Amino acid sequence: MTEAAHLPMREVVRRAGALPGVRPRRFVPLLLPMWAVDVVATVREAHPYDVFDRYLSRAVAEAGLTRPAELAAFFGVEPALVIRTARFLERIGHLRRDGDELTLTELGHQSIKDGRRYLLTRGRRITLRFDGRGGEPVPYAHATHAVWLSEPVLELPDGTVFAPVGPARPLPSNAVELLLDRPDVADFTGPAVPVEVAAAEPRPVWLPVYAVECEDGPLVFGWAVDGPDPYLLDVYRRHAGQSEAD
Amino acid sequence: MASTLVDLEQSPYRNEGFCAVLELAVAAARELGPGGDRARPPRDAGLDERVQREAILRLRSGATANPGLLPLLAEGRFAAFGADVPASLGEVGRALAVPDVFCLVATPGTARTRTVCEIVRSAAERGERVLLTAPTPPLVDAVIAALPDGATVIRTDQTGSGPGSIDAASAAVQQRILSRSQAAARALEPWLGDPSPATGWLRRLDTALTEAAEAQERAGRAAAHREATARAARDRLGAPLAALERELATAERAAAATAREVELLTAALRRAETSRLRRWRTGRPRTMLSDAVRRAAAARSALSRTRSAYEEGARDTRTAIENDSVVRAAAERAAFADLAARRALESAERSAHQLTRMLDGVLGRPDWTADHAGLTGFADRCRTLEPTLRGRAGLLREWRQRAARPSRQLHAELLRYADVIATSCLGAGRPEHADLEFDLVVVEDASRVPVPAALVPLVRARRAVLVGETGRPPLRDLESVRAWVSARCPAGTDAAELTALLTGSVFDRVAARAPEPNRAGLDHLPPVPERPGD
């Protein structure tokens, strides 16, 4: 496990040394305390529209056309095409049929607004990760391109030992709800955006990083970014501030 | 190649032995060479094998459009059917009525082709999506050639843009869209743009209605002023007439009083004359009556003179009022204001006519009345409709621009929504068919299709019609298959089942187990009546 957990120290030394104007003084391998919450979610995934499903949805939303016969006449297509497309959109939850009347659901309206055909998938297991200091969600790139340790122990084959930076602060009980309410939620969850979740208890995890003390201030290196990572630097500073305060 | 996502952990994991033998049959077929469909053109053997394995995977995991397909093939378990089916229902009706699989036993020929056509046509007319497959393309061609126009039929194994190909179907749909939506696009054109011509006329209507309302108010004020001026003039010029009016009233009262006196005296005289005691005393009343009659005649004469004088005075007063300069000016102003109000309303009416022409052909000719209330109601209705019609016009323009340029983007939807998709059995497993499902699959010449190959279309349809003949020779040489099975069949595998799958067709397997309602022999039934136009 330890072999692929992080870059070897010499690689980080090389990378930091290659940065113009940076004079490293000390390399400190650290384990940042974070939180992971495993949830079973209904996720919303975006797909590109085909041609007719998009125009049919738009006609219902924007042009006040709601009956298959008038939609077929408007588009100049066979009624069967409208009926089958409507059935498809109904099956994926974009349309609702009331007798001969078609109406867009909220998901259908949202899809038209964003120009993406959203599909809801239930029962998806995903892990949401949060900063152990402020309870802020971890960006998707960092959540997916980092090695997360379930124990605060890491020693690389070159002998580098990572030390934990204190314990995490308790995760706010509404951290998941706050994340789902964010307009930029996809930045933290990736393309499969959870819209409903059944959350479990958060569990502590540790993120290995190299804090590099330089003459002009610290830099932090992680897995997700090749060079110095501004997000991890921000997290590191919050933790460092906490440690000093403690 | 696209694959279908299936979850083996979630499925009812039944008939595993049969599925394992199916997989083995696919592997054996690779070594033994092609079976029944030797006549088909050479294809990618690896692709063929993959699509068959994928179909077996779907069967095994229960991810088939017909959830009862696996027990049907493995155990011969058909869905309950037949109790409520009229005995008079022909083979076409039964083929459409069975809940799972129907076998039509018929020798190749025109009657069989016509029956298959009728099944496909009837299903498509019911709004069902039909997958038509056969081991070789000519069999599909024969059925498609006999299908009537109207249904959207796509040959997915047809390359290029030849008749029936997806390219040709796409081009035809685009052409139809452009021609059919042309009239609507023209009708909606006035509602296009910001501001659109229709919006311009609506603004004119609103402006004209506002002006008409203001003019109407001015006309009302002018009329009131005219009346007030006339009243003042009457007061000013009407003193002599008032005196005459009083004289007339006096004369009327005098005439009425004398007339009453005559009446009373006449009655008294009549009573006296009819009385025997007073008959001799009638002289005096008679004299009084005579005097009263004279006075009444004089009073009537005076009344007549006074009335004439009053009427003449009234005429003179009216003329004087009409000729009064102040009254005339007020009347002229009122007339002008009224004219202006009428003209403003006419202007609104012209705008309403323009909007009516623009609405005609889009929503039908609207009704309105040419008064202020009617025009205001019409303007309100146009204002309500304008955003919708603007949306329609813009959407239709985009749609027509989209339809005007050649595109492969329509292909996926055409495949998903076409009435009939025709392809070879293995062609039904092409990547673009991955998520397609059908209401009915018709496998023509199923007696030449091995079970693994037939699975490729069968897993994609809720119901199936297998068409074939019985008594055909085995698909492969029986001895070679037995030799392969005895040499290569893994221990624990049902060797008899494997041999049957390698030598028998899907038709042999299903028809032999099908209950009576699920099969029909065309050769023993009266031919399908010819439809008009055939």
Dihedral angle of Cα A186, A187, A190, A196, to the nearest 10 degrees: -40
- Is the C-alpha dihedral spanning B188, B189, B192, B197 positive or negative? negative
pLDDT digits (tens, 9 = 90+) for A121-143: 999 999 999 999 888 999 998 88
Dihedral angle of Cα B518, B106, B131, B96, to the nearest 10 degrees: -40
pLDDT at B8: 42
Q: How many whole angstroms separate alpha carbon B318 and alpha carbon B13?
A: 110
pLDDT digits (tens, 9 = 90+) for A43-77: 999 999 989 999 999 999 999 899 999 999 999 99
Mark yes or no for CB contact B392/A88 under 8 Å: no
Bridge partners, A102 (sequence order): A97
Cα angle: B511, vertex B512, B517; to 5 degrees? 55
Amino acid identity of A65? L
* Distance, C-alpha B396 to centroid of its chain: 17
What is the bridge-based pairing of β-strands B101-105 and B519-521?
parallel
B177 touches chain A (CB under 8 A): yes
Backbone torsions φ then ψ of A23, nearest 5 degrees: -120, 95
pLDDT at B526: 42
Cα angle: B328, vertex B332, B336; to 5 degrees? 175
Q: Which residue has the tokens 């005096």?
A: B284
What is the bridge-based pairing of β-strands B101-105 and B461-468?
parallel
Identify the architecture of domain A49-115 in CATH.
Orthogonal Bundle (1.10)
Neighbours of B342 (CB within 10 A): 14
A121 touches chain B (CB under 8 A): no
Q: Which residues of chain A does B419 touch, with a Cβ-Cβ cutoff of 8 Å?
A: 80
pLDDT band at A159 (very low <50, low <70, confident <90, very high): confident
Mutate which: A60, A67, A74, vs B, most B CBs within 10 A: A74
Neighbours of A174 (CB within 10 A): 11
Tokens of A4: 């692929």
Q: Which residues of chain A does B129 touch, with a Cβ-Cβ cutoff of 8 Å?
A: 84
A84 touches chain B (CB under 8 A): yes
Distances in whole angstroms, Cα of residue B527 to Cα of each of A234, B385, B445: 83, 57, 19
Predicted TM-score (pTM) of the model is 0.70
Mark yes or no for CB contact B177/A76 under 8 Å: yes
Whether residue A195 contacts residue A40, with contact meaning beta carbons closer than 8 Å, is answered with no
Name the E strands within B59-129: 101-105
User: Going residue by residue through chain B (534 aa), what tens digit of pLDDT does each one get?
Assistant: 333 444 444 444 558 889 999 999 998 888 887 655 444 555 566 888 899 999 999 998 888 999 999 999 999 999 887 666 666 678 889 899 999 999 999 998 888 988 999 999 999 888 899 999 998 878 888 888 878 777 788 888 777 767 778 888 888 889 999 999 999 999 999 998 878 899 999 999 999 999 988 988 999 999 999 889 888 888 888 888 888 999 999 999 999 999 999 999 999 888 888 877 776 777 888 889 999 999 999 999 999 999 999 999 889 888 888 888 888 898 899 899 889 889 988 999 999 999 998 888 788 777 888 888 999 999 999 998 898 999 999 999 999 999 998 777 888 888 888 889 999 888 888 887 777 889 999 999 999 999 999 999 999 999 999 999 988 888 888 888 888 888 888 877 888 889 999 999 999 999 999 988 888 886 654 444 444 333
Whether residue B173 contacts residue A75, with contact meaning beta carbons closer than 8 Å, is answered with no
Q: Is A174 helix (H, G, I), strand (E, B) or coil?
A: coil
Q: How many whole angstroms separate alpha carbon A46 and alpha carbon A217?
A: 41
Mark yes or no for CB contact A85/B412 under 8 Å: no
Q: Which of B388, B398, B412 sits opposite A50 (nearest CB)?
A: B412
Distances in whole angstroms, Cα of residue B355 to Cα of each of B196, B359, B396, B448: 12, 6, 20, 66
Mutate which: A49, A78, A85, vs B, most B CBs within 10 A: A78
Q: How many whole angstroms separate alpha carbon B378 and alpha carbon B352?
A: 8
DSSP 8-class letter at B196: -
Neighbours of B301 (CB within 10 A): 12
Which residue in B428, B439, B415, B457 sits closest to B125, CA to CA?
A: B439
Give me the sheet containing B153-155, strands edge to edge.
Answer: B153-155, B420-424, B130-134, B438-443, B461-468, B101-105, B519-521
Contacts for A217 with CB less than 8 Å, ≥ 6 apart:
none
Q: How many whole angstroms separate alpha carbon B46 and alpha carbon B35?
A: 16
Mutate which: B154, B166, B191, B399, vs A, most A CBs within 10 A: B399
Mark yes or no for CB contact A64/B388 under 8 Å: yes
Task: Quickly list DSSP for A47-92.
Answer: E---SHHHHHHHHHHHS---SHHHHHHHHTS-HHHHHHHHHHHHHT
Bridge partners, B122 (sequence order): none
Distances in whole angstroms, Cα of residue B201 to Cα of each of B197, B357, B436: 6, 11, 49
pLDDT at A2: 42
Q: Which residue has the tokens 């009980």?
A: A173
Q: Which residues of chain B does A55 touch, with a Cβ-Cβ cutoff of 8 Å?
A: 395, 398-399, 402
B364 touches chain A (CB under 8 A): no
Distances in whole angstroms, Cα of residue B218 to Cα of each of B74, B153, B208, B340, B342: 92, 70, 15, 9, 12
Dihedral angle of Cα B199, B201, B206, B211, to the nearest 10 degrees: 150
Whether residue B179 contacts residue A76, with contact meaning beta carbons closer than 8 Å, is answered with yes
Pick the more confident residue, A134 or A111: A111
Whether residue B117 contacts residue B146, with contact meaning beta carbons closer than 8 Å, is answered with yes
Amino acid identity of A8? P
Chain B closest CA to A83's CA: distance in Å? 9
List the domain boundaries for chain A: 9-43+121-245, 49-115
Name the E strands within B135-265: 153-155
pLDDT at B136: 81
- Residue of chain A minimizing CA distance to B396: A75
Whether residue A74 contacts residue A102, with contact meaning beta carbons closer than 8 Å, is answered with no
B129 touches chain A (CB under 8 A): yes
Q: Is B20 helix (H, G, I), strand (E, B) or coil?
A: helix
pLDDT band at A8 (very low <50, low <70, confident <90, very high): confident
Tokens of A58: 């738009």
Burial of B276 (0-12, 13-18, 19+ CB in 10 A): exposed
